[in-house]
Chains A and B, each alone.
Chain A
Amino acid sequence: MSGQSTEPRPTGPRQRQVEAGVAVFVMVLGGITIFGSLKVGIGWAAEGPQSGFFPFWVGLAIVAASAVNLVRAFAQPARTLFAEWGQIRQVLKIVWPMALYVAAVPWLGIYVPSFLLTAGFMRWLGRFGWPLTLAISLGLQVVVYMTFERWFLVPLPKGPLEDMLGL
């Protein structure tokens, strides 16, 4: 083929597909709302409209609006990208660590996962040296502890390590 550009064209998931996916997801949420409303009743009772009355119509509106959005998702130009794969990779670099972090917090408290998150970020994504990484990661936990537990008197979740240290 003639006229090839020297740079490869960026690729990624298409906007219209992702928009359609989001519309379907929201529609499902609307459906769940309708289902839940029917369970508690959507009619009229002695005290007025039943619990499910308002959420039922809300759910219906969600489904209707999402149907419109789903159709209009395909009105997007076919070529428009939702994001380039490179950008998605960057976002995932933060999503996986965060997912592990929030999963760890209920078991390990806030301090240990925060330390690991900060150190991990600085080391693997920021490429800082160990001294600075450890200094800031530890320092942050100390600052947080002092500020929240001592100054504001707001207890933060703790895990087995803190129990061992008697904090």
Chain B
Amino acid sequence: MESIGDLLGGFAVVLSWQNLFYMVVGIVLGVIIGVLPGLGGANGVAILLPLTFSMPPTSAIILLSCIYWGALFGGAITSILFNIPGEPWSVATTFDGHPMAQKGQAGEALTAAFTSSFVGALFAVIVITLAAPLVASFALQFGPAEKFSVFFLAFCCFVGMGKEPPAKTIAAMMLGFALAAVGTDTVTGQLRLTFGSTELLGGFDFLIAVIGLFGIGEILLTMEEGLSFKGKAAGINSAVVLQTWKKLPRYWMTSLRSCVIGCWMGITPAGATPASFMSYGIAKRASRKGDDFGKGDIEGVIAPETAAHAAGTSALLPMLSLGVPGSPTAAVLLGGLLIWGLQPGPLLFVEQKDFVWGLIASMYLGNIVGLVIVLTMVPVFAAILRVPFGIIAPIILVICAIGAYTVHNNTFDVVMMFVFGIAGYFFKKCNYPLAPLVLAIVLGDKAEESFRQSLLISQGSLGIFWSNGLVGSIMALGVVALFWPAVSNLLGRFSRPALR
């Protein structure tokens, strides 16, 4: 298969001392970021993105994606030791992870979590290796209408399958589009929605929005509980690791099932969070020891972690091959690629083979390196969280401010970051989903461009979106996703009697 040859070429690109160095740095930074509140995956990548502008794109994306890995691993540490989910998808890990730590089995829980993450991510990377080129070559045939229909599908998935009320998801998403529309219209070059302000000439940058919404917003939320973190101490020694590894193969079915759930949900832009919850719920129902879940059962850690990492990784598949990110962090990475002048989508596989396969190869290596690093450095990372919040909080705020500034060397952006932060606090408390907002800001211009080009071709008729089998079926899938709650209700009524 051509893919294997390309993949080996990718490894050749990655295996330079410089790139390996960036990999290690990225993972360590990523775990630290994942462990600290307010600096989670999307935000951390957003802050560090401008710093990588001076690096060659391949090294930069390796650094950033390893930060992403690290953050995925880091979220598990805080969930298990401190009952604080570092990332939204680590919430399900707290259900059994923290009770295990309280029973003194922290080392086991951590080993199980890290190993499951590794397995889930590996599975997803293999899927990406095999599927991405296929999807990309398929997508080369896409015209503007087909491109728009893919965006449409993505956004419908958020509305229909998210856990927030649809009206709030729509409001958040449309707000993102509106924010994306501010500034220069990419098609006609006209200024719009700037109301004469020079600051808004460039529009709203998604990086500032991410740092504010996810970073500052989360710190504000964390502050509600005051300035204390109390957590369980933990050490991992090799005996515990080996013991746990001996136990894990017993749960291969759970693992496999979680991988599939994770990959599926990661590819459809619903993301890692529902994947982890869904996997936990299904594992609980399928397991003989279902009632033990919640009290510290190792299977309750394996299921969500595998799924979350499989999903987080497979979110990169649509990002690379279609240019549609499946998660906020993938959206930030997409934004980064655009800034470097790389166009994610089918052409990336044709024109930038070295880069794409280098990235995919780095995912394999990064995963392995990541597992080794986290297993050996848990006490260090846990110690970081014992630094009093009174010291950590201002440091995080300063880092966020610097991150916001370095995007455009504009101090106004720091103010905007703060405004987004306040908005993020209120939105999160009122249950407005932030992921579709961020995705809309990142993709708004592209989605609008495809939409307008389609209308131009069809001379104003919306029928173009149903004009051929391909675009029509994607749009139909979108409509199904949009009305999914109603559909699944109907299906539920037919298949089994109500059990409560």
Contact = CB atoms under 8 A, between A and B. Distances in A.
Given A55-B193, A106-B412, A117 B394 contact: yes
B170 interface: yes
B418 A153 contact: no
Interface in A70-126: 72, 82-83, 87, 90-91, 93-95, 98-99, 101-103, 105-106, 110, 114, 117-118, 120-122, 125-126
Contacts of B429: 18, 82-83
Given A102-B401, A103-B415, A152-B54, A128 B192 contact: no
A33 B393 CA distance: 35
Contact of A62 (B178, B220, B422, B452): B178
A48 interface: yes
A160 interface: no
B174 A18 contact: no
A126 B388 CA distance: 8
Contacts of A32: 193
Given A36-B195, A105-B401, A157-B405, A90 B451 contact: no
B69 interface: no
A47 B455 CA distance: 10
Given A49-B455, A95-B220, A101-B397, A61 B174 contact: yes
A83 to B, nearest CB: 6
Contacts of A50: 188
B181 A58 contact: yes
A49 B401 CA distance: 39
Chain B contact residues, majority secondary structure = helix
B216 interface: yes
Contacts of B171: 23, 26, 62, 65-66, 69
Interface string A125-164: 1111000000010001000100010001111110000000
B418 A55 contact: no
Interface residues of A, number: 69
Contacts of B192: 36-37, 39-40, 51-52, 55
Given A33-B193, A105-B414, A122-B394, 4 more contacts: A22-B432, A54-B177, A54-B452, A98-B216
Interface of A: 15, 18-19, 22-23, 26, 29-30, 32-33, 36-37, 39-40, 44, 47-55, 58-59, 61-62, 65-66, 68-69, 72, 82-83, 87, 90-91, 93-95, 98-99, 101-103, 105-106, 110, 114, 117-118, 120-122, 125-128, 136, 140, 144, 148, 152-157
Interface of B: 50-51, 54, 165, 167-168, 170-171, 174-175, 177-178, 181, 185, 187-188, 190-193, 195, 216, 219-220, 223-227, 388-391, 393-395, 397-398, 401-402, 405-406, 409, 411-412, 414-415, 417-418, 421-422, 425-427, 429-430, 432, 448, 451-453, 455-456, 460
5 contacts: A23-B171, A30-B175, A54-B181, A94-B219, A101-B401
